[in-house]
Each structure stands twice: as C-alpha cells, then as structure tokens.
Chains A and B, each alone.
Chain A
Amino acid sequence: MEQISPTRMTLLQKRSQLQLASKGVDLLKKKRDALVGEFFALVHETLEARKRLEAAAKDAYFALFLAKAFDGPEAVDALALGMPVLSDVEAEVENVWGTKVPKLIARWPEGAAVSPIAMGGQTLKAQEAFRRFAEALVEVANTETRLRRIGEEIKKTTRRVNALEQVVIPGVLHQMRFIKLVLEQREREDTFRLKRIKAKSEKEEKQPATA
C-alpha cells in the first residue's frame, strides 16, 4: 500500500479522488451501455449482411457455372481480361463513442465493359452476380470490422470499470478509512492529553492553597 500522510488535507484529496472515480465509473458505464446497444443493433445487421453475402456467393457461383457451361470456360475466363475490378476504393474513419471504426467505400465501374451483342446472357448474369457478391463482401467487411472494434471497446471499457470499482475505489475508501482512523485516534489522544493537562493544572492550582 502506498505511503500516505494521514492529514485532513489528504483526506480531502482522497474524497475528491473518490468523487472523480465514481463519476468516471458512471460515465464509463453509460459509454458501455451505449456501446452494448450499438453492438446488439450491429449483430443483427452483421448477421443479415452475412446472409446476403452467402446468398450472393451462391448466386454468383451458380451464374458462373452456367456461364462456363453455355459460353465455354475459356471464353468466360477471357472476358475477365482487361475488366476493371474496382473504379476506386476509399477508407473513411468513423467515430463511434470515441472508437475509431474504419469504413471502406468501394466504387465500381459503370456498365459491363464488354460488347453486349455476342456475349452470352449467362456470362452477363455472372458478371452482375459477382458485382453483387463483391458489394456484399465489402458490406460484411465493414459491419464485421465495426462489430469487432465495438466489441473490443466494450471489453476495454468493462476492464476500466472493473479496475475503478474493484481496485481504485476500494483502495481510496480504504485509505480514507485509515486516515479517518488516524485522525480520530489523534483527536482522542489530543482530548486525553488536554484532559490530563487540565487535571494536572487543576491539581497544581489546588496544592498551593492547601500548602
């Protein structure tokens, strides 16, 4: 235990430390509640995004295998040559209750970038289905990263609350109790000392009179 000087000044300092820690606990609990709310709202969104990703993947691969069957695997693979995958990708940072959450914004090229005349319809469908798959993938990346970051922040905040509630505040209270005990003891000693002095001086005052 840290060495503290049991004075009234220290007691006042510890009292204000206790108030600050209690206020911090309240704030952190509010932050944690808000993050938990955000987390649960995101869980649903993430599950939905996962479902959309799975459905998009299923559609995309089914469309691709139809395209390869009808238009030939070589021709379908060749169409992918020179096809721009992304026009642009940006990463924005959002602030969710003090937590930095990255968000990817992908932009896709407009149009099919191939002649629609002789291209097989299944290949076009596959191209579109894979675009939706890629969009769903970016959405899942965004929601799951957000969820993970918020989850980590909840853990961190819970650790802080626990540290304050179970270590810092009990420590300060203990110190305050110790200071109070010392101060009370000192007060009792002072009272006793004063009584003794008073008794002694009264005794001395009586003695010359009798002498």
Chain B
Amino acid sequence: MTDDFGYLNARVRVRRSSLLPEGFFREALNLNFADFVGALGETPYGGHLSGDDLGAVDRAVSARLHEVVGGLPGLVGGETREAVVLLLSRADLTNIKTILRAKATGLQAEEIRTHLVGGTLPEAVLQAMIEAPDAAGVVQGLVLPGHPLAAALREAVAAGGTLTAMEVALDRAYFENLYNLVKRLDDAFLHDYLAYEIDGVNLSTAFKLAQQGRVEETDVYFVPGGHYVSQELFARVADGGVEAVEELVGTPLESLAAARDLGSLERALRCLLLERAGRGVFNSEGAGLVTAFVRAVEWEAARLRLLARRAYYDLPVEAVEREVFCS
C-alpha cells in the first residue's frame, strides 16, 4: 500500500468535487422540510436517504460522512495512514467514552451499537469493548491491539475514579497522543493545524469551566500542545476572567478575542479552524488537502443536520443563519 500523499490527495480531489456548493445551503435555509428532503435527495446524499423524516436525514448524513471519509485510511499505509487516522480519531474517542458510559448504565450490546459513530477502530476491537462486562474489560479490549489510549484508561480505571475522571484522563491522553504523533510525522501543516485545534480545545474548555463555576484544579483540564493559549491564560479564563481572551489580539487567534460566552467562542472557533484547514487545499504534498477535505465534510454534515432541524421544526431562518455560515 502506498505511503505518500500523492495518491491519497488525487483520490481526495475527486471526492472534493462531490461536496455540496455554498449555494445549496443558501437555498436550503429557506426551504420547508419536505422541499429540503427533496433537494437533499438530488445530491450525493440521496442514495443514503431511506425515508422522509428527520431520523432518515440524520442517518443519510452519517452514512455519507462514513462513506466519504471513513474509507480514507484504507487507501494508504504507513505514516500517511497514521496522519489520516489522526484526523478521524476523534470519533474513536467518542466511541470509547460512549461504551464506558454504557457499561456504567448496564446497556445491552445492541443498544450500545446505536450510539456509536464511525471512527477508525477495527470492528473486532469495538466488538470486544462492547461485549466487555465492565470498564476493566473495556481496557482489555483496547490493550490487546495496543491502542494508544489504553494506558491512560487503564490508569484511570485502576485509580477507581468516577466516570468523569476516566473521561478527563482519556481526553487528555487523546490530545497528548495526537501531539506526539504529529511531532513524529513531521508534517508542518498538520503540526500547525493541530496546534490551532488544541488552542481551540483549551479555550473552549476554559469557557466551559468558567460557565460552570468549576474553578478548582483547572490544570487537570489543560491540554499541552497549543501555540497561543498558555496555561496561565487558560487558568485565568477558567477562573471567570473571560475578558482575558483579549490577549489574543495580534495573534492568528484574533477572531476569538471578542468572544465573551461559549456560544460566540465556538462559532468563531469553528470558522477559524475551517479557514485554517481550508488553507490545506494548496498543500498537495502533505496532509493539508486531506485535512481540509475531512473538516469540510464534517462541517457539511453539521450544516445539513442544522438545516434539516430548522426546516423540520419550522424555525425562523434568523435562528440558525449565523450558525450555518461563516462570514
């Protein structure tokens, strides 16, 4: 299997042509639900639509997302594959945490399946974790294939912490692992992009902590690897001083400096990361193009779900417009 981005990027270029044009979202913003489903049926999502309700749209969006990005790691091998897996591995983290929650609530295997999203974990590993009797069994399922999150989860389970403590350990290990992997892969674009993502995660976490008033031991939630959000800035924001983000003026994160609440921060952050990922389309020799593509498909999926819900619940256009477009 080829281990360079040339082949992968050629395949990605072809897939990029199937992304929905911006005009589709402008038009879809004003459609009622029946017309929206009709319009979606005429796009590449049409092949996945198995009904005309909101659930059918959600399933079509998930299936399409899995179809266009889920197969990307299988096209390449070696470090190129690792880089692609890295971009898609957030779903793995979500799935592991879902299985842990399901174990804590005693959910049956078939029910757990309905809560899982795509991701890159092999079916056998997922099956082993789903069938595990408890959290320790889930660790075993991850240890056997040598998954990078296994060690962190094993430590958290051994410490006998709460579900939240286990999730925090997994989240931190996930980003640390990403950071180490990016350093090893030596891809300048990916390195740069991941640093922005980590800065974004830290700012978002700090806003969440500030909103919840959860100020003790904020260091536990800080993820190293960002460029512009220092631990000190993180602690100040988490402590309630959200205006401290003004320090980001003059940095590439300047667009986040005006945010004073989680909603506006996430909106600005979403657009910033999309813009940074979008720069990758010119990076045909590295992971830039695939990064831009994966994030564009994820953004497309989110916008479609949002527009489908607006149409289904017949909400005013203004209610979702600012969420669907980056000015």
Contact = CB atoms under 8 A, between A and B. Distances in A.
- Most A C-beta atoms less than 10 A away, residue of B221, B265, B309: B309
Interface in B244-271: 262-263, 265-266, 270
A121 B265 contact: yes
B214 to A, nearest CB: 6
A175 interface: no
Contacts of A62: 315, 319
A74 B262 contact: no
B305 A68 contact: yes
Contacts of A61: 313
A65 B324 CA distance: 13
Nearest to A79: B101
A175 B172 CA distance: 90
Contacts of B301: 72
B196 interface: no
A191 to B, nearest CB: 92
A118 interface: yes
Contacts, number: 119
A111 B117 CA distance: 26
A70 B274 CA distance: 14
B163 A65 contact: no
B262 A121 contact: yes
A90 B303 CA distance: 43
A96 interface: no
A66 interface: yes
Contacts of A74: 62, 98, 114-117
Nearest to A115: B167
Interface in B92-122: 93-94, 97-98, 101-102, 104-105, 107, 114-117
Interface stretch (B7-15, B71-79, B205-213): B205-213
Contacts of A81: 98, 101-102, 104-105, 107, 115
Contacts of B265: 121
Contacts of A75: 94, 98, 115, 117
Given A68-B305, A81-B102, A121 B94 contact: no
Contacts of B207: 121
Interface string A108-119: 000111111111
Interface in B222-252: 223
B296 interface: no
A47 interface: no
Given A68-B305, A113-B164, A82 B104 contact: yes
Interface string B168-206: 101110110000000000000000000000000100110
Contact of B115 (A78, A125, A128): A78
A69 interface: yes
Given A69-B306, A115-B167, A121 B208 contact: yes
A77 interface: yes
Interface in B287-326: 301-303, 305-306, 309, 313, 315, 319, 323
A121 B202 CA distance: 12
Contacts of B62: 72, 74
Nearest to A65: B309
B263 A121 contact: yes
Contacts of B48: none
B309 A118 contact: no
A37 interface: no
A66 B323 contact: yes
B90 interface: yes
A124 B116 CA distance: 19
Interface in A102-157: 111-122, 124-125, 128
Contacts of A170: none
Given A65-B306, A78-B102, 15 more contacts: A69-B309, A70-B266, A72-B305, A74-B98, A75-B94, A81-B98, A111-B214, A112-B164, A112-B212, A112-B214, A115-B170, A116-B208, A117-B167, A121-B204, A125-B263
15 contacts: A70-B306, A74-B62, A74-B98, A74-B116, A75-B94, A81-B98, A82-B102, A111-B164, A111-B214, A116-B212, A116-B214, A117-B221, A118-B174, A124-B262, A125-B263
Closest 4 A-B residue pairs measured CB to CB?
A: A115-B167, A117-B171, A78-B98, A69-B306
